[in-house]
């Protein structure tokens, strides 16, 4: 079941807009576990040049879905972002299912990421930590980690290697290819 958190910037979120967003994004529920409540964070923004931007983030226990689209029509942007999210889900499910069959996993346990608020005690240092995240790492291979990193729009991703049980980091290099850092004992 999806719960919606819809915000508007430079636009009033009317009931018609809210209904359309909920109707379109609710189509993604068929991919989620039935008894799980997920929140879809939707940000609608209209720019002075009449461009409409729609950003949707759906944090799941095993993955964070995120997409954004800009077009001349708000409703078209909602349609485009919904299509993009559906492609992400299908791509992720296909990869996970293929990898789990190859490795002989029967049921993969997905563990949620937890976010902790930052401690703003020392405002004078330029090295202040402004946000802290605690991660529960999911075992996966580097292909799945790259897929997760790309879906989140990040430049790096930390995960537990399914083969070695070590902690690894994949990252996007300046040339557009990927790098891998294996953390282990010397």
Q: For residues 111 and 174, give the distance between their C-alpha atoms in angstroms, rounded to a whole number.
A: 31
Angle of the 15-26 helix axis to the 74-103 helix axis, nearest 10:
20
Q: What phi and psi values does residue 66 have, to the nearest 5 degrees?
A: -150, 135
Q: For residues 82 and 26, give the distance between their C-alpha atoms in angstroms, rounded to a whole number.
A: 9
In this prediction, residue 106 has a pLDDT band, given cuts at 50, 70 and 90, of very low
Question: Per-residue pLDDT tens for 140-164?
Answer: 888 888 988 888 788 888 988 888 8
Mean residue pLDDT of the chain comes to: 80
Q: For residues 44 and 82, give the distance between their C-alpha atoms in angstroms, rounded to a whole number.
A: 13
Residue for token digits 């993009």? 84
Q: What are the structural domains, with CATH classification, of the chain?
A: 2-102 (3.30.160.100), 114-183 (3.30.505.50)
């Amino acid at each position: 079941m999806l719960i919606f958190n819809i915000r508007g910037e430079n636009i009033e979120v009317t009931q018609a807009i809210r209904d359309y967003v909920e109707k379109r994004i609710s189509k993604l529920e068929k991919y989620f576990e039935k008894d799980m409540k997920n929140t879809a964070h939707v940000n609608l923004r209209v720019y002075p040049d009449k461009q409409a931007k729609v950003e949707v983030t759906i944090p799941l226990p095993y993955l964070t879905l995120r997409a954004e689209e800009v077009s001349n029509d708000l409703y078209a942007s909602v349609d485009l972002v919904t299509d993009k999210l559906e492609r992400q889900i299908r791509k992720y499910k296909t990869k996970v299912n293929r990898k789990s069959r190859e490795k002989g996993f029967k049921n993969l346990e997905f563990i949620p990421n937890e976010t902790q608020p930052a401690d703003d005690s020392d405002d004078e240092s330029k090295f202040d930590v402004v946000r802290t995240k605690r991660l529960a790492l999911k075992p996966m291979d580097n292909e799945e980690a790259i897929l997760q990193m790309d879906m989140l729009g990040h430049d790096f991703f930390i995960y537990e290697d399914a083969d070695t049980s070590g902690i690894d980091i994949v990252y996007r290099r300046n040339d557009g290819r990927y790098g891998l850092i294996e953390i282990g004992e010397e």
